[in-house]
Structure 1
Amino acid sequence: MTVAYQVWAPSGMPEVAKGDDLAVLIATAEPDLADGDVVLVTSKVVSKAEGRIVAADDREAAIDAETVRVVARRGTLRIVENRNGLVMAAAGVDASNTPAGTVLLLPEDPDASARSIRAGLRDLLGVDVGVVVTDTFGRPWRSGLTDVAIGAAGVRVLDDLRGGTDTYGNPLVATVVASADELAAAGDLVKGKAAGRPVAVVRGLPHLVTGGGADDLGARALVRGADGDMFRLGTSEAIREAVTQRRTVRAFTDDPVDPGAVRRAVAAAVTAPAPHHTTPWRFVLLESAASRTRLLDAMREAWITDLRRDGRSEEAIARRVRRGDVLRNAPYLVVPCLVTEGAHHYGDARRDTAEREMFVVAAGAGVQNFLVALAGERLGSAWVSSTMFCRDVVREVLDLPADWDPMGAVAIGRPAEPPKPRGERDPEDFLTVR
C-alpha cells in the first residue's frame, strides 16, 4: 500500500491587518477544506490580525520586554526564552514585513490563536481540521532555518510510539515524534518566505487530527521543561549562572551523590591558578557513611574540648556543636587540603609569610572552582571551616600525610528546599578605582 500526503499553499490571501478574521480569510482562499486536513498558519499573519505590531525605534528594548531568560549571547545576537517558553533568537521579535519604526511580536497565546482559527473554520465550512501556528527557528548544532509549531489546536503535536516495536521487533523506549513540527516544516516548503502565501494545507494525515478535548495538548507540550533540559544555557551563560546560583546549602535530601560528578568538580578545581607551577590541592573524598561518622565524631570531641577550655557553658557548647550538623546530614563530604610542596623558603619572616599566603589563596581558588562546578552539576554544597581548627585530628582519623593541611570541609548533596533569594549586592560597593 502506498502512503502519501499532499501539501499546498493557497493563493489569494490578502495583506492582513489588525482585527481581520483569519478564519474568514483562510476559508475564502481555500473553501474546499475537508475533515482531517491540517491548516498551517504563519505566525506573522496571526500577530498582525491580533494587533501585535508595536512602535519600537529600538528593537532591543522590544526584545527585552519579551524576554524571560537569556540562554546565550554572542555579540548583538541573543538566544532567549520568551513568555511562552519558546527558546529562539531575539524572542521572536521581527522587524521585517512590518512598517518602518515598528516591530512584530509573536502572538500572545499561540495555542489560543490556533483554537480560535479552528473554531472559525468549523463554523464557516463545517469541517473538522487541525490548525498549527508556525514560526521560523534556528536549531542548535544545525545550520539553516526551518518552521516549527508554536501553537496548535486539534493536532496530535507529539506522536508517542513508546511501547511499540520496530520492524525487527525491537522495543521502542524513547521514540516520541514531534508531529506538529514535522507538519510545520512540510508547510514551509510550499509557503515560502516572500511569496505572499502565509497559509499551507496538509491533506492525507487524518490520524494526526484529534477531536479536541483532553488529548488536545497544544504546542506548549513541545516545550521541554527545565528539569529535562540538558542544554539550558550557552557555555558562558552556564558558567555565570553556576557562579551566581552557587549557594550555601544547609539541608540535603537523602538522594545519593554521583561520585563521577564530584570527580568532575575536582577536575575543575585543579585548573585554578597556583604559584611556581605547583599543584597545591588535594581532595579527600568521604564516600562511605562510616568514614564520615568517624571523622565528624572525632571533630566534635575536639571542638567540645576547645569550647570547654574557652569557658563556654554547656548550653553554648551544644548550640555551637549543632551548627556542625550541616556536615553530619550531608550524604557526601569532601575535605580539601593544602600542600605547600614547591614553596620557596627565604629565611625571612615577612617573605615566608607572603609565600604561604600565596598558596592559601591558590587553595581558596581551587575550592571556589570546586563549589561552582558542583553547582553546574546541580549539586548543593556548603563549605564549612571546622577542619581547620583541628587539623591534627583530621589528619589522624583520615590517615593523611603530615604536610596536608585540611582547609575546611565541603558538604554535598541535593538541596532539600529551594534556595532563599540572595540579598542584593551592588558591585560598586566593592570597587575602588584609581
Structure 2
Amino acid sequence: MTAAAPSYRVWALPGIPEVHEGDDVAKLIAAAAFTDGLPGLADGDVLVVTSKIVSKAEGRILRAEDREAAIDTETVRLVARRGTLRVVENRLGLVMAAAGVDASNTEAGTVLLLPEDPDASARRIREALRTGLGVDVGVVITDTAGRPWRKGVIDFAIGAAGVQVANDLRGDVDAHGNPLVATVVATVDELAAAGDLVKGKAGGLPVAVVRGLPHVVGDVGDAGDAGDAGDARAEGARWLVRPAVDDMFRLGTSEAVREAVSLRRTVREFTDDPVDPGAVRRAVAAAVTAPAPHHTTPWRFVLLETEAARTELLDAMRDAWIADLRADGRSEESIARRVRRGDVLRKAPYLAVPCLVMDGSHDYPDARRSAAEREMFVVAAGAAVQNFLVTLAGERLGSAWVSSTMFCRDVVRRVLDLPEGWDPMGAVAIGRPAVPPVERAARAADAFVVVR
C-alpha cells in the first residue's frame, strides 16, 4: 500500500473584529474558529497570528505625528540608511526597516509598536486556548520584513509557543548519502509565510490556521528542537535572532565603512593566533585604491610572514636605534627603557612595511617645487596606509603603525633587500587584539572645521 503523500491545509479565520486595547485575542480567535462552516481548532493545529492585533490588544499604540521619533525609541542600532529609509536593529534584536514601527492598519496620527515580548504573547494565547477549549495548538506571531538580496516582503516569526522553532538537520544525510553539516530549517518562518498566503496584507484576516503538521506542535522537549543550538522551543522565536559574532552582514555598505574606521585602534598587545595572509592581501588591495599624483602608483608593501624575517629586521633596527640613542648621549638605562617601549613590533605575529616610491614624479629646477612634489607622494602613501589599516580593522585584525623604519631606512633596505628608491614609511604590526580596545574619547567634528 502506497503511503499518503505529505500535505497540510491552511485557511484564514474571518470574522475577527477590530481589536482594541484590553481585548482577549485568544477569545476572539476561538469565536472565529468555531463559526459555521469552519472546522474549528484541533490538537496539532498551528495558529499564525499577525502581530498587529497582539500589539493593539496589549496597548502598543502610540500617538505619534512623527513616526521617525517612534522609530528612534525602538532602535538600538542603525544597520543601514538610504535617505529617509532606515534598516535598524530594534529592542527585540530583530533587524527590520523602521524598527517594525507601523503606521498602517491603525488610526491616523498613531503608530503600532511590536509587542513587548512576542514569545510571551504567544505563550499566553496558547495557554488560554488550551484552558478554554482543551486543544493543544502551536502559536506563531508574525510580522513583515524585506530580505537582503531579494525584492518583496514576506511574513516571518517574531514570537512562538508550543511549536518547533527550528529543525536541526545537521548530522543527517540527504537522499544521496551526503552528510548535512549546516542545515537548520527555520520552521516557524515557513509557517509564517504559509499563513500569510491566506491572510494577506489588506484583507482584514489577521489569523490563519495550519493543519496537518502535528509533528511540529508540542511542549518543550519534543523531538525536532534545534539540537545543540539549545532548546529553541523553550526560547521561542527569539532563538532565531543571529548573534552579532555570527552575523556576516551586520551593516550596510557605508555603515560598515564607518564602523571599520571607528574600530581602527593602535593595538599594542596581540594574541599568538596566526594572521591570515589572505586578509592582509585584501587590505593591500584596498590600500592601492588611494588617490595619488600624476596617475602614479607610489606604494609598495613588504609583508614579513616568517618569524625569521621579522626577527632579522627588528634586531637590525634595534641595533641602529641603540646606536642613535648613544650618539645622542642617552644613558644605558634610558636606552633600555625606550627600546622596551618599541617592542610592540616584536609582539605581533605579522609585520608589513609600507614603502613610498617616487616613480612618475616630476623634476623641478627649484627646491620649493621639488619639496611640494615629494609631499604629494607622501600624502598618497599616508592615504594608502589608512586604507590598509581600516581594511585590517574590517577583517577584525588589530594593527599598530610604528614609525621606526623611517629612522633607519638604509638598514631596512639592506635587511629586506629593497631597491634604493623604496622609502620605508614605518612598519605595521598586525594580529588579533589580546584585549578589547580602549573606548576612544568622542571628538566633535566642528572642533576641526574652519568654514570660510
* Structures share fold, TM-score greater than 0.5: yes
Q: Which residue of 2 aligns with 1:183?
A: 191
Q: Is the 8 A contact 1:155 1:216 kept in 2?
A: no
C-alpha distance in 2 between matches for 1:118 and 1:427: 53
Q: Match of 2:343?
A: 325
Helix, strand or coil at the partner of 1:323: helix
Q: How does 1:213-292 map to 2 (within 5 A)?
A: 214=231, 215-292=233-310
For residues 194-245 of structure 1, the C-alpha deviation after alignment (integer angstroms, 9 at most, x for no partner) is 2211111111111111312644231111111112111111111111211122
> Are 1:8 and 2:3 counterparts?
no
One-letter amino acid matched to 1:37: D
Q: Which amino acid aligns with 2:356?
A: L
Aligned residue for 1:114, secondary structure, equals helix
Distance 2:311 2:128 in 1: 69
CA drift of 1:104 comes to 0.6
Q: Does 1:155 align with 2:173?
A: no
CA contact (8 A) 1:114 1:153 kept: yes
The match for 1:405 among 399, 423, 428 is 423
Q: Normalising by structure 1, what TM-score?
A: 0.97
1:8 touches 1:202 (CA, 8 Å); kept in 2?
Answer: yes
CA distance in 2, matches of 1:221, 1:341: 57
CA deviations on 1:367-403 (whole Å, 9 max, x unpaired) are: 0011111112121111111111111111111111111
Q: Distance in 1 between matches of 2:121 and 2:391?
A: 43
What percentage of aligned pairs have identical amino acids?
77
Runs of 4+ deviating beyond 6 Å = none
Structure 2 letter corresponding to 1:85: G
Which of 348, 359, 367 aligns to 1:349? It is 367
| 1:218 match: secondary structure | helix
SS of the equivalent of 1:217 reads: helix
Give 1:347 shift: 2.3
Matched, 1:382 2:385: no
State which of 92, 97, 109 in structure 2 corresponds to 1:101. 109
- More deviation in 309-318 or 389-398? 309-318
Distance 1:26 1:315 in 2: 82
Amino acid across the alignment from 2:328: D
Aligned CA distance change for structure 1 residues 58 and 294 (closer, same or farther; 3 Å) = same
- 1:88·1:138 contact (CA, 8 Å) conserved in 2? yes
CA contact (8 A) 1:387 1:409 kept: yes
Residue of structure 2 equivalent to 1:128: 136
Aligned partner of residue 72 in structure 1, secondary structure? strand
Q: Amino acid of the residue matched to residue 58 of structure 1?
A: D
SS in 2 for 1:267: helix
> Which residue of structure 1 lines up, in the alignment, with residue 53 of structure 2?
45
**Match for residue 433 of structure 2 among 398, 415, 419:** 415
Which residue identity does 1:395 align to in structure 2?
R
Q: In structure 1, how many angstroms separate the alpha carbons of the residues matched to 2:313 and 2:218?
A: 62
Q: In structure 2, how many angstroms separate the alpha carbons of the residues matched to 1:352 and 1:275?
A: 14
Paired with 1:146 and 1:81, the residues of 2 have a C-alpha distance of 18
Contact 1:6–1:204 (8 Å) recurs in 2: yes
Equivalent of 2:83, from 71, 75, 80? Answer: 75
Deviation at 1:11, TM superposition (A): 1.5
1:92 alignment partner, one of 71, 87, 100: 100
Name 2:62's counterpart in structure 1.
Answer: 54
- For 2:413, what is the secondary structure of its paired residue? helix
Q: CA deviation at 1:149?
A: 0.4
Q: What CA distance in whole angstroms lies between the structure 2 residues aligned with 1:67 and 1:21? A: 29
Q: What's the TM-score once normalised by structure 2's chain length?
A: 0.94
**TM superposition shift of 1:191:** 0.8
Counterpart-to-counterpart distance in 2, 1:219 and 1:127 = 22
| CA distance in 1: counterparts of 2:103 and 2:281, whole angstroms | 48
**Does structure 2 retain, via aligned residues, the 8 Å contact 1:156–1:216?**
no
Aligned counterparts of 2:159 and 2:336: Cα–Cα separation in 1:
60
Give yes or no for the alignment of 1:372 onto 2:375: no
Residue 230 of structure 2 corresponds to residue 212 of structure 1? no
Name which of structure 1's ranges 309-318 and 322-331 shifts more when overlaid on structure 2: 309-318
Aligned residue for 2:78, secondary structure, equals strand
1:117 Cα deviation from its structure 2 partner:
1.2
Aligned residues: 434
Measure, in 1, the Cα distance between the counterparts of 2:302 and 2:353.
5
CA-based RMSD: 1.2
From 99, 111, 123, the equivalent of 2:119 is 111
- Quote the offset at 1:315 in angstroms: 2.5
Unmatched runs of 5 consecutive residues or more in structure 2: 35-39, 222-230
Question: Distance between the aligned counterparts of 2:288 and 2:156, measured in 1?
Answer: 43
For structure 1, the 5+ residue unaligned runs are none
Confirm or deny: 8 A CA contact 1:338 1:363 kept in the other structure.
yes
Does residue 195 of structure 1 match 2:215?
no
Could you say which residue in structure 2 is the equivalent of 1:18?
21
Distance 2:218 2:418 in 1: 67
Contact 1:210–1:216 (8 Å) recurs in 2 = no
**Residue range with higher mean Cα deviation, 163-172 or 424-433:** 163-172
Moved more, 316-325 or 360-369: 316-325
SS in 1 for 2:262: helix
Using the TM superposition, name which of 19-28 and 207-216 deviates more: 207-216
Deviates more, 1:204-213 or 1:77-86: 204-213
Q: Is the 8 A contact 1:252 1:330 kept in 2?
A: yes
SS in 1 for 2:235: coil
